[in-house]
Amino acid sequence: MRPGQYPTIEEVRWRRSTLFKPELQKRLMQLLKPTLFGFTNHIIYEKIRADLKAVAVHSFIPVRDDLKSFLLYAHIQQRRGKTRLDEAAQSPFLFIFSGNGYEREAAANAISAPCKSEFEVLSLCYLLNDWVPNVRAAALQAMQRSLPSTKRALIDGVASYLFEETGRFGRMEHQEINALNGFLFTPDIVETLISRLTAGLESRPENLLKRLLVHAETDRFLPDIWSNTSLRPSVRSIALQPLLNGNIKWQDGYKFEWIDKLFNEKRRVPQIVSRPLSISVDVHQLYAEALKDKSPLIVKTALQSLITTRTDIADFRPVIERLKASKRPAIRERAEFLLRD
């Protein structure tokens, strides 16, 4: 904005709604000023990247939306509808939030250096779920160039958050999913996340464990999780179920089932995939311990597994006879069903 010029309506709206501190607002506004030869001020851009290092992982979404609003304001205010491909190539980690697909693609193509913050790692990973196929392809190539040289501590810091968020990414194809899993979900990261889970440092351990079960590296930790009575019964139950059933199931998107092909009627249903358990356990001993556990949820899980797997209950009949008198309907009904057979 030139001296003596009043701020526009778009600028006033953005300044009122933004979460950014005044210093960052000022630097973002300086990016809009034309510089010598028309190039973006690289020093200001690097200062903005340094400011974004302080963004917490769980604050990524509101900050991302704030940057989108700023770039929309800048598009309306100064560029008058022109595509900012040169600026996007010079400030890639800013313009990957642009509302213009050409600018997002140009920004992704310009990314080759390692990410400097957790915010940038998240920005690159979220770009894999872009609605434009060309942007997703450019983001995949950018990730393959940038993440191998990025500090491992930055990737470890966002792994727990991405484990939950990537389950909601509906636009990624198998190529993007495999590449993301290869960079983020290595055995070392799985072990780190399991350590955080067992130490009670995760706010939603059930969701995290369900996502971790997709990877075979998690199987060796399941016996310890199930036997750790200091954890929530819901977490222990999730770990116990695959140990008893011998396989792990999860939802992998959706598929369509025909109701009537003549009238083109179909419905969307969850697509369930499974894999076998990669470790061997003493299932008989697990049943004996689970049926006597203090937690009703663990007992219910064991009874349901006996029903599902059609396991011989001869050795467990005395325990099931006692469970038949339980005050909890979920346990009592399953015990009665097993004894009825």
Model pLDDT for residues 188-211, shown as the tens digit of each residue: 888 888 888 888 878 788 988 988
What average pLDDT score do residues 61-79 get? 71
14 and 158 housed in the same domain: yes
- Report the number of distinct structural domains present in the chain: 2
17 and 124 housed in the same domain: yes
Tens digits of per-residue pLDDT, 235-286?
A: 999 999 999 999 999 887 778 899 998 899 999 888 888 999 999 999 999 9
User: Quick one: pLDDT at residue 301?
Assistant: 95
Query: 185, 217, 247: which is the final residue of a domain?
Result: 185
What average pLDDT score do residues 223-234 get? 93
29 and 165 housed in the same domain: yes
Whole-angstrom CA distances from 153 to 63, 188, 197, 299 are 22, 11, 18, 40
- Judged by phi (left if over 0) then psi (alpha if -120 to 50, else beta), residue 38 lies in left
**Which structural domain, as residue segments, surrounds residue 302?**
282-341
Of the listed ranges 122-126, 222-226, 303-307, the least confidently predicted one is 122-126
| CA neighbor of 185 nearest in space, from 212, 205, 148, 208 | 212
Asked whether the predicted pLDDT for residue 136 surpasses 70, the reply is: yes
Query: 136, 165, 185: which is the final residue of a domain?
Result: 185
Phi, psi (deg, nearest 5) at residue 334:
-70, -35
Whole-angstrom CA distances from 323 to 107, 294, 312, 317, 341 are 62, 12, 17, 10, 16
d(CA 10, CA 239): 52
User: Quick one: pLDDT at residue 36?
Assistant: 42
Query: 148, 165, 185: which is the final residue of a domain?
Result: 185
Asked whether the predicted pLDDT for residue 42 surpasses 80, the reply is: no
Tens digits of per-residue pLDDT, 174-187?
A: 777 778 877 777 78
Asked, for residue 336, whether it belongs to a domain, the answer is yes
Contacts of 282 (CB under 8 A, 6+ apart): none
180 and 297 housed in the same domain: no
Asked whether the predicted pLDDT for residue 12 surpasses 70, the reply is: no
What average pLDDT score do residues 37-47 get? 67
Contacts of 41 (CB under 8 A, 6+ apart): 30, 31, 33, 35
Asked whether the predicted pLDDT for residue 3 surpasses 50, the reply is: no
User: Quick one: pLDDT at residue 32?
Assistant: 62
Taking all residues of the chain, what is their mean pLDDT, rounded to a whole number? Answer: 82
